A = this chain, B = another copy of it.
Amino acid sequence: MRKICIVSHGHLASGIKSAIGILTGKADSVEAIDAYVDDSDFTSRIEKFIDSVGPKDEAVIFTDIYGGSVFQKVILAQPERKGIFHVTGTNLAAVIQCLLSADPLTPKVIDELIAESARYLQRVPPVEPEHEKSVGEEGDFFS
């Protein structure tokens, strides 16, 4: 079974989960841990997720930002002792790719999925009027 957990400052984790629900219908496959939104102990929820992963499961924990306190809590929980991957700096594409990939989640596969997701973090260039014209009037393209 593939298990996905997202841990974040604030409601970012549950926000990603809700976007996944709308885009894929698979929100139930994702556990969201929103840290620092109340006084509850989110570290124990990370531990509980790690403990829930069995030897035949594939699992990834996503954290929101490299080096942040949530990131550090996950490092200290040593997810690798259960073969769980840790991906940080996450965007929505990275979680969806890892959730839906048909390939078994090896380090190489995850690195490829993440590299692809990182390429989609980009500035969208404005549509150039010149380009619109050349698309709309193909005869002009080679003139």
Contacts and interface: CB of A to CB of B under 8 A. Distances in A.
What is the total number of copies of this protein in its complex?
A: 2
A119 B78 CA distance: 23
A87 interface: yes
Contacts of A122: 66, 87-89, 114
Interface of A: 8-23, 34, 36-37, 64-66, 68, 71, 74-75, 78-80, 85-94, 96, 107, 110-111, 114, 117-124, 126-127
Nearest to A86: B124
9 contacts: A8-B19, A10-B17, A10-B18, A19-B65, A78-B127, A89-B92, A89-B121, A90-B91, A114-B121
A9 B85 CA distance: 26
